[in-house]
Structure formats: structure tokens, C-alpha cells
Structure 1
Amino acid sequence: MLSFEFAFHEVAPPKKTCPRSKKEKHRIPAELAASRQTTSKSPSSSLLPSIDATAGQCKVAPGDSINEQLSAMPTKEQMQAELKIRGMNFCSRDQESVIHAAFRVNDSLSDIAEPEMDEQVSEDPEGLCRFCNKVLPQPPSAKLVALGLLLARQGDVTQRYSWVNPLALHLPFPFTAGYCGQHKDESKVIPMGIKHGWPTQIDFSKLSKRAEGLADHLWAVVHQGVPSDFWAHALSKWRTLGRTKCMSVFHEIDSFETELPGYYGYQGFQLIYQQLIQMFLKSTLDTVTRLAHPLDPEYLLRKVLMPEAALSLIGEDMSLPMNHPELVSNQCDSPIEFAMACV
């Protein structure tokens, strides 16, 4: 048989010519990519950037060693000049004083001062309030002692950690507010009142009669027969603000302290006020209305007659005349806290 052998040779298809794709247009040449890889792998190029010498800096070749780059760094003067251009200053050694010692590089911890303890353990914890650590009055009143024992026996009382007072206890504030306010009054408010000569006990059963005995002086004030600073002040307010504002609730709240009778307190205010109403606004209302013009009769009673009566009563207690400076000071201080502390 005859056999035929044929040799087949693969022939590559013709290359198609087409425009470059978008990816090929932005493809980085191989030489440039290789140089970038070499530069990124170089340790010296990643450590220090090149610096322009024209701006007071230097330029370092990528192939230099680390020591060569460090030696070529800009000097202190060049750095100061560059920072000055950028609006900054170079912190030198002599400026370390502005840095706190805790943030400096210290050779030893002795340079750092030890923190000062504002509070120290009390040598007499029995003399401190177990709820607020304030110093108790010495000697405390029987009322204060009884109230403190009552609070300490409450079922929900707990131990409270205190650096100052090892006997400290804790209760919610609404339970301890009265007790802490009481020992504050006995420590500061009451001694202050005694220093001024204010009485710690007042017989309120006789206060209405005492106010009635001031009728002659108060009628002289209404007739403007005697000078009164309270009358002048009330008249000035009335002319400035007008009737509507002076009789408004907001003005009453703002000027209510003028009506308070000093250390006679709120209880004394009620008794004196009721007596003045009987004296001036009942049977003699027409006369008072005419004499009080342009003021309202009730406004006259509260802003003029009420403080005049209180000043007279305080003057009787202290045996001082009406125009005595100390008497006026006591009335202007309005020691309502003292009156409430003595209740």
C-alpha cells in the first residue's frame, strides 16, 4: 500500500489592527514602573523626603545612606528661618520652663512635685457632720443632737466613704437638708445675729399691741409730718413705673423684701400687717386714700407704713432712736435667715 505523509504547519492568524484601548492609554510603561518599585523598596527614600535648598533646606539623593541623609539635614538656623516664614517659632531649651514637669524628660521623678492633699483626716470626727463633713457648732443645741441621732437610726442609712470623716453616713438629700441647714444656722447665722444685738426669742403674743402703740408715729408719717425715706422711695417708684406696674405681681415679688420686718420674720410680718389694716384701711380708708395720693392706700401701707413699723419695733428692742445708723443697717440687712433660724 502506498502511504502519504503530510506535514501540517500551524500558521498564526493575521494580527488585527485596532486602536489602543483606554486601559492601554493609561498604562504605565514598564521602565517607569520598575523604577518606582525600586524607589519604594529603598529604605532611605521612605525615611527622609527631599528638601529644597533654596528654602533653607537640602535635597538628598535617593541612593544615599541614612547617615549621609542625617548629616545633610538643615541646621537649627535654617529650621528657625523656615518656621518663621510659616508663622511658627522653634522651641529652644530655654523655653522648656513653660512645659509642665510631668511632660518633660526628667532624670528622676524627684523633679515632679507630689500632689497636695486639700483634705486631711480630721482629728475630731465626732465634731463633724456625718452627712456633709462640715464642722458642727460647739456646743450643739439639744434640737440638733436629737435630729442627728434620729437620722443616724434610719433604716436606709448607709456608710459613706470620706477621706476626712471616717464616721460619714449617707442619706438622700431631702432627709438631711433640714439637719445640715440647722447646724449651719447655729454655726454662722445665729452668732452673727447675736453679734448685732438681735434677740433670739420674741414674744409674738404681744407684737400686735406693740404695733398698735406706734399709731402716733405712723399717722405722722401718713400726714408727712416727719421725714420718711420709705415714703420718698415709694413715691419715686410710683411716678417712674406707674400704678399698673407698681401694683403688679412681678413688682411685688421684686420689692417684697422691703416689707419684711427684719428679724421678726414671716410670723411677725403677718401680725404687724393685720394690725396695720385694722388701723388704716378699715374705718379711716377715705382719710388715708386722700393723704396717700397719688399712691394707692394699700401700696402706702405695705411699702411705707410696714417698714416704718418694723424699724420702730427694732429700735425699741435695741434702745436706739429711729435715725440711728446701726438701726437702719439692721433693717436694710433684712435678717430673715436669723429669724427663721431662731424659730
Structure 2
Amino acid sequence: MKAIQVSSFCHALTVHTLIYPFASVSISPHVDPKTLCPYCDTPLPSTPSPLLLKILAALKKKSQRDPRPSNPLGLRAPLATFIAACQRHRFESQILPEAERKGWPKAIEWNRVGARIMKMKGMLQALIEDPSDNTSGTESKGKDPDDWEVVYASNKAKRGGSQKRGKAGSIFWTEIMEEVRQKGLRAVSGVRGQFANFEKAQPGYYGEIGSVIIHQTLYNMFPLDEMDPAPILPLTANEFVQRVLVPEVALHLIMEDKKLSGDVGVKKALKILRDSSAYGVAMFPEDGGE
């Protein structure tokens, strides 16, 4: 069935109402129409990301010219076709500036990330092989296992404030062991448990591109079929990579980025990791490589 085309007036009004409800319906004589989104007629970011430019270029091939009072260079396309571009536009115009104020990156040197992770091999090897008691975190009984600050404080007490390597020094191992203790392994490992803890396995502002690089580098360094299962029980090798190694690597990458160190640095980096996860997914989607 042929896609229904939105008329010029309804096209502009609908998108403005849904995405930019306070946008003007007519262009100012002082505005260069080249600086406007050709679909929602509002200003594009001053420095659009490569992904946004790529999306707009691809959409232009599927669109028709549609000059209108709000944008002489306007384009027309099925709503389902251009709505993703306008959502990305909104992200870069409204959410990205806030991320910049917080110091989260707009660009990452992806070709260097793998080598940076390789330098962590000794630390990660110690984390895998450490035969620590897998009941760590039991002293926090009754506390919210999702409160990472509580878990951090508990873990720090076990370390005696030192920068100890191994599982006792991993916030992520402590977290998941506490979840297993409270909810049971089946609940944590099941589909519902994985969904509930999805964000905890994200690499912060490194996003989906970073996640792919981190996973591939870890699999190259530590093939799943060669990982000794005993020290990582009750987790499987894949669960250990997903819930412990991936966020551990991301945490250390962020610490390097921000030049953080010590327990205070770990705590700051962990907050950035958790706060910036949604931003990372939007800014660096897997199919949006620069």
C-alpha cells in the first residue's frame, strides 16, 4: 500500500506539535533556511553529529520538495520515515548540550579503545581467577541491592580502603552476588532478571559502539570456552562477562578519560557510568559509526 503523504500544512503542524510544540509556524527573515531541519523546521544543532547528517542525507533521497512558510527548503516524506530524524534532531539540540555540560564526549577515538582495554588484561585476569568467596555482600542484608552507593561502601569496608585487585575490589561482582543472595540465581539469570538489570551491564557513555568493542576485545583475550568456571561460580562465563567484565572495563575507561584514581575516583566514575548509559545508547548506536 502506498504510504500516505502528509500535506504541507499538516506535516509542519503535526511535527511541530509533537516534537517542538512552541516552534514558530513562519520563518524569521533573519534565519537561514539551510540551518533548519527540512522536516520539523526548527534549527539544527550548530554542529550536527555525523549520524544526524547521515540520517538526513539518506532521508533526502526518499523525500519530495515541500516549500512552506516555515521553511522554504522544506521536504516532505511519510511520517514514519522522517520521525526518527526529528527525534535524533531533538536529542542533539536539547539533550546533547546537557551532556556536554557534564563533560560526556560527543566523539570517541574508537580505533584506540581496543588497545586501551588490552592494557587492562592483568587486572581483568586477576578478577577472573580470584577464588574469592562468592557470598560477598551478605553483610548488606536488608539494604536495597540497587543502591550502588551502599554496595560501594560495603565493598570498600571489605577492602579496608585499599585498591585491592580481584573480586573483593569489584563493585559489579559484589552487586550481582548480593542479588543472587537475595533473589536466587534463577531469578537473576532469567529473562526477567536480565531485563531488570540491563542498564547495569551498559558501558556508560561508550554506548552500543563501545559495548561491541569491549565485548569483542574481552572475547579475544578470554575465550568463553577457555574460562575456568570454578572461580566465577555461580555465574556462567557469559554472565560473568556481561555483568562483571564489561562494566568493569567501562568503569576503568571512564576513569582514564576523566583522570580519576583511588576509591574516590571509582565512586565518581561509577556515577558517570550509570548516569550516562542512556546518553551513550543514543549518541553511539551500533549502526551509527562515525
| 1:260 alignment partner AA | Q
Measure, in 2, the Cα distance between the counterparts of 1:173 and 1:239: 49
Unmatched segments (≥5 aa) in structure 1: 1-117
Structure 2 partner of 1:46: none
Are 2:119 and 1:213 equivalent residues in the alignment? yes
State the shift of 1:308 in Å. 0.7
State the shift of 1:207 in Å. 2.3
Measure, in 1, the Cα distance between the counterparts of 2:211 and 2:51: 26
SS at match of 2:284: helix
State the shift of 1:307 in Å. 0.5
Among the aligned pairs, what percent are the same residue?
27
C-alpha change, 1:294 and 1:173, in structure 2 (3 Å) is same
Measure, in 1, the Cα distance between the counterparts of 2:240 and 2:54: 45
Are 2:209 and 1:273 equivalent residues in the alignment? no
Are 2:265 and 1:320 equivalent residues in the alignment? no
For the 8 Å contact 1:189–1:338, the answer to whether it is kept is no
Measure, in 2, the Cα distance between the counterparts of 1:274 and 1:149: 31
State the shift of 1:197 in Å. 2.6
| 1:219 alignment partner AA | Q
Q: 2:105 aligns with which of 174, 188, 199?
A: 199
Structure 2 partner of 1:173: 79
Unmatched segments (≥5 aa) in structure 2: 1-21, 133-165
State the shift of 1:169 in Å. 4.9
Structure 2 partner of 1:254: 196
The alignment of Structure 1 onto Structure 2 pairs a total of residues equal to 221
| 2:253 alignment partner AA | L
Are 2:82 and 1:137 equivalent residues in the alignment? no
Higher helix share: 2
Deviation sequence 1:39-76 (CA, Å, 0-9, x none): xxxxxxxxxxxxxxxxxxxxxxxxxxxxxxxxxxxxxx
Q: 2:181 aligns with which of 228, 236, 239?
A: 239
For the 8 Å contact 1:259–1:307, the answer to whether it is kept is yes
Measure, in 2, the Cα distance between the counterparts of 1:339 and 1:158: 31
C-alpha change, 1:134 and 1:261, in structure 2 (3 Å) is same
C-alpha change, 1:285 and 1:332, in structure 2 (3 Å) is same
State the shift of 1:145 in Å. 6.7
C-alpha change, 1:298 and 1:138, in structure 2 (3 Å) is closer
- RMSD across aligned positions (CA): 3.4
State the structure with more CA Rg. Answer: 1
After superposition, where does 1:59-78 map in structure 2 within 5 Å? none
For the 8 Å contact 1:315–1:322, the answer to whether it is kept is no
SS at match of 1:305: helix
Measure, in 1, the Cα distance between the counterparts of 2:284 and 2:54: 21
Measure, in 2, the Cα distance between the counterparts of 1:213 and 1:141: 30
For the 8 Å contact 2:224–2:238, the answer to whether it is kept is no
Measure, in 1, the Cα distance between the counterparts of 2:172 and 2:91: 30
Q: 2:90 aligns with which of 160, 184, 187?
A: 184
C-alpha change, 1:296 and 1:321, in structure 2 (3 Å) is same
Deviation sequence 1:200-219 (CA, Å, 0-9, x none): 33233332222121122223
SS at match of 1:246: helix
For the 8 Å contact 2:224–2:237, the answer to whether it is kept is no
C-alpha change, 1:147 and 1:318, in structure 2 (3 Å) is same
